[in-house]
Amino acid sequence: MIKVTASPNIAFIKYWGKKDSTSDEDRNIGVNPSLSMTLDVAKTTVVIEKSPRHSIYIDQKEASKEDHDKIVQHITRIEKMFQKTHPQGAGYLNINSENNFPPSAGIASSASAFAALTVGIVAAIIGKPETKKLLKTNPDTLSSLARRGSGSAARSLMGGFVKWETLTAESLNVQWPLLDTIVILSSKAKDVSSSEGHKRALTSPYFAERQSKLPERIRNLENALQTKDFERFGQIIEEEALEMHHVAETSNPPIHYLSEDSKRLISTIQGLKNRSFYFTIDAGPNLHLISTKPIKEEIKSILNNLKLDAVIWEDHLGTGPTLE
């Protein structure tokens, strides 16, 4: 039996828009580099066993045909990768993938799922000891494979702060135990998937402008992380999140991920005098609040004042996948 855990990540510089690909090897590469923090408490656990046929379960339910096909395609691409040294492949697998966090909560399950699946399938092909070695000494191969399943999964293959520029992601040498308090305002599945969002991003008249600003923004963010300049860090991640949403909202056709509730919460947070946390938001209405100390009580009272109902998920910087 193979058991793998991997956590989702929250992007501070967003992957929003893909490069054209010419083959499966260069699938899902962002137009711009992205930078994220891998979480810890939220996890996908994947358990893999040999089986007479492929059977795949997600959160204890048989996977939809679409998910089943995507995962079988992932098994095939990984088998191909190791064909020379391990021609026997993975064989048929029974795969159980479970998330410990609520679905559609603004916590990207495809990143943690494909990171965990990749490690598990590789272990089914080359064995656990070799895969553990790869995870420790050369996670690039695994990150690059995970990316082909889902772009942002490349970053969940590593712990800490992670930058993803080309085929594979890399971990940054920054030790800063930041917290991510996720305010789940709505658990409704999003109307427009991020795959569709990546395509539409290129139609926004602001897309080119955003791209021109990103190299400097990433440099500044890396600098703020290195020097632990929390205020500077916060200004950058908020500017970036709002810009990604501006690109989405000006795409053709437009995508409105932010709800009225998200907008009210954002403007209240922006009006706070002493900022002990800063927000970022992925493709959905829920806010990730990044801080250096716990902020749950403060957030609860802000939500109370606004008469907003929300579930709060407390998370923090994590260390990357585990394999047993």
Residues that bind ligand PMV (CB under 6 A): 11, 14-16, 34, 108, 110, 150-152, 194-195, 282-283
Helix (H, G, I), strand (E, B) or coil at 251: coil
Residue 216 beta carbon to ligand PMV: minimum distance, rounded to whole angstroms: 18
Residue 173 beta carbon to ligand PMV: minimum distance, rounded to whole angstroms: 21
Q: Tell me which residue of 9, 35, 34 sits closest to 19, measured CA to CA.
A: 34
Q: What angle do CA 209, 259, 315 make, to 5 degrees?
A: 85
Residue 50 beta carbon to ligand PMV: minimum distance, rounded to whole angstroms: 30
Q: Tell me which residue of 137, 96, 77 sits closest to 3, measured CA to CA.
A: 96
Rounded to 5 degrees, φ, ψ at 98 are -135, 135
Closest to ligand PMV by CB, 32 or 302: 32
Omega before 294 cis (within 30°)?
Answer: no
Rounded to 5 degrees, φ, ψ at 169 are -95, 165
Closest to ligand PMV by CB, 16 or 277: 16
Residue 92 beta carbon to ligand PMV: minimum distance, rounded to whole angstroms: 28
What strands, in cross-sheet order, belong to the sheet with 322-323?
A: 61-62, 55-58, 93-99, 44-50, 2-6, 322-323
Closest to ligand PMV by CB, 144 or 194: 194
Closest to ligand PMV by CB, 21 or 51: 21
Closest to ligand PMV by CB, 152 or 286: 152
Residue 183 beta carbon to ligand PMV: minimum distance, rounded to whole angstroms: 16
